[in-house]
């Protein structure tokens, strides 16, 4: 990107180096947060089989990445939720609504066959736009 700053944010997660990606990338005033799951360092899923708790943990990790990139949840303009059981949409949506009820970003939720580990129920991506002052 010519003329724009680029900041990479790492969570130190096990897949970042292996796959070659960053938890988040800030390019100018836009922050892109990679697909985020509720995976814990030991490989288990935070919240076990509780869809709401997994989604809530994803948003906590997203918020940490945004903060490190100089953004906040209030700056989010787009969310994408990849879920393994769309029949549980209300559980995932409850966590989303608690975080973004006032922000109301553009949002998508789609069912996928599976995620990187079978115990993971949701993966979330976000995009944020920060006012450059």
Q: Is residue 37 in some structural domain?
A: yes
Q: Return the axis-axis angle of helices 89-100 and 51-68, rounded to nearest 10°.
A: 30
CATH code (residue 39): 3.30.1330.40
Helix, strand, or coil (residue 44): coil
How does pLDDT run across 87-123, given as a tens digit for each residue? 999 999 999 999 999 999 999 999 999 999 999 999 9
Q: Is residue 85 in some structural domain?
A: yes
Q: Is residue 1 in some structural domain?
A: no
How does pLDDT run across 4-56, given as a tens digit for each residue? 689 999 877 767 778 888 999 999 999 999 999 999 888 899 999 999 999 99
Pairing of strands 24-27, 76-83: unpaired
CB-CB contact of 52 with 31 (8 Å): no
Instruction: Fill in the DSSP letter of residue 80.
Output: E
CA-to-CA dists, residue 104 to 31, 60, 64, 89, angstroms: 17, 17, 19, 17
Residue 25: domain span: 6-129
Domain count along the chain: 1
What is the pLDDT at residue 133?
Answer: 56
Q: Is residue 84 in some structural domain?
A: yes
């Amino acid at each position: 990107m010519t003329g724009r700053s680029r900041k990479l944010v790492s969570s130190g997660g096990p897949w970042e180096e292996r796959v070659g990606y960053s938890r988040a990338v800030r390019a100018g005033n836009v922050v892109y947060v990679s697909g985020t799951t509720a995976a814990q360092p030991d490989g288990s899923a935070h919240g076990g089989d509780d869809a709401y708790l997994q989604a809530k943990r994803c948003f906590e990790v997203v918020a940490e990445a945004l903060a490190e990139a100089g953004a906040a949840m209030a700056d989010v303009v787009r969310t994408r939720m990849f879920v393994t059981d769309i029949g549980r949409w209300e559980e995932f949506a409850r966590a989303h609504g608690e975080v973004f009820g006032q922000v109301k970003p553009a949002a998508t939720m789609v069912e996928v066959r599976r995620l990187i580990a079978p115990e993971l129920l949701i993966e979330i991506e976000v995009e944020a736009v920060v006012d450059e002052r």
